[in-house]
Copies of this chain bind each other. A is one copy, B any other.
Amino acid sequence: MSTMQDVAKKAGVSKATVSRVLSGKGYVSEATRQQVFAAIEAAGYRPNLLARNLATSKSQCIGMVVTNTLYSGSYFSEILSQAAKKVEEIGRQLILVDGKHSAQQEREAIEFLLDLRCDAIILYPRYLTIDEMDEIIEQTTQPIVVVNRRLRKHPSHAVFCDHKKSAYNATLALIERGHRHIAFITGSLDSPTALERLNGYKQAIGHANLPVEPQRIIEGKWTPACGVNAITSLLERRVPFSAVIASNDDMAIGALKQLTRAGISVPQQVSLLGFDDIPVAPFLLPALSSVKDPVTDMIHEVINRLISMLDGGNMLPQKALISGLVLRESVANAPDTER
């Protein structure tokens, strides 16, 4: 790889001048400017981001850390998709790193992004506690926004939604439709979200003076297979139910699969309800759309928070100044012969 020094030599100028041309900062005569561009193309030069970021402590990119146990699943992919699009809109790169399987590894992922000098970090936590995250936010100068958790000390760094209320409303809506035997498939019970949803369900059942029956509550772990198993379990134990609420859409899909296999049609004979407001969500009863989780809105809010913390201003305009782009523009204007 050719360096800035090579380009400088070819153009008969100094490194500093090349740097000025690339960054657009400082004055450079049009003549030398052209020479430099020529040299850049001749050398096939590409700026080295590592060196640049090391020198500037900036990187024009936004990091996101998520545990890979959440990577499968449509909820995550929707979040990632929305985040990437929003980040693209502000002219940056979204880079996702793996939080793996422990609080320690989530920490490492964060530090990795910090080392990369990411402008900001989106944290979709799984193992870190609220307190640990509050502490990390305090110790870090870069903006960090946490998704799906309620932070104690730094509420402005947290974006979440009211899972308990969603579950409460969903359950209530089914009750109002006359359902008396509503089964519930939980998420992983080590997840706050799963607990909130379970509690919302229990509360609604209780408020309706219906019994909370343990046999109708099946523990799942978010995956479609758990939905399959849950239905199998209900049927095998001959537990009566006229409706099923799954704590997420993936399990709802699994449940649907198994219900279909068993010859039970949905929603004619059984109402099935998933939670996530994502394109996959096939089973939300139309009337219940108000119970959906606003994933899209949530992630947009995350990015907006991030932007506001990004000491504003330098959003898109800077784009034209990024050396890589300047470089490519000039290449683009060159005759197309080689393509």
On A, residues with C-beta under 8 Å from B are 46, 48-51, 53-54, 68, 71-74, 76-78, 80-81, 84-85, 87-88, 93-98, 100, 104, 108-109, 111-112, 115-117, 223-225, 250, 253-254, 256-257, 260, 263, 265-268, 278-280, 282-283, 324, 328
Closest to A265 in B: B265
A205 CB to closest chain B CB, in angstroms? 26
List 16 A–B pairs whose Cβ atoms lie within 8 Å, in order of A's numbering: A46-B115, A50-B117, A68-B81, A71-B84, A72-B74, A74-B74, A74-B280, A76-B77, A77-B77, A87-B98, A95-B95, A96-B96, A224-B279, A253-B253, A254-B279, A260-B282
Check if A111 sits within 8 Å of B46, measured CB to CB. yes
Number of copies of chain A assembled together: 2
User: Shortest beta-carbon distance, A318 to chain B, in Å?
Assistant: 16
Q: Most chain-B Cβ atoms within 10 A of its Cβ — which of A71, A88, A225, A250?
A: A71
With A111-B46, A115-B49 as contacts: A279 and B80 at CB distance below 8 Å: no
Q: How far is the CB of A202 from chain B (nearest CB, A)?
A: 28
Q: How far is the CA of A77 from the CA of B80 in the complex (A)?
A: 10
Which chain B positions have C-beta within 8 A of A267?
A: 260
Interface residue SS majority, chain A: helix
* Distance of A219 from chain B, by nearest CB (Å): 18
Tell me the nearest residue of chain B to A69, going by C-beta: B81
Q: Once the chains bind, are A223 and B111 in contact (CB under 8 Å)? A: no
Closest 9 CB pairs of A and B: A257-B282, A71-B81, A68-B84, A49-B115, A77-B77, A96-B96, A72-B81, A50-B54, A224-B279
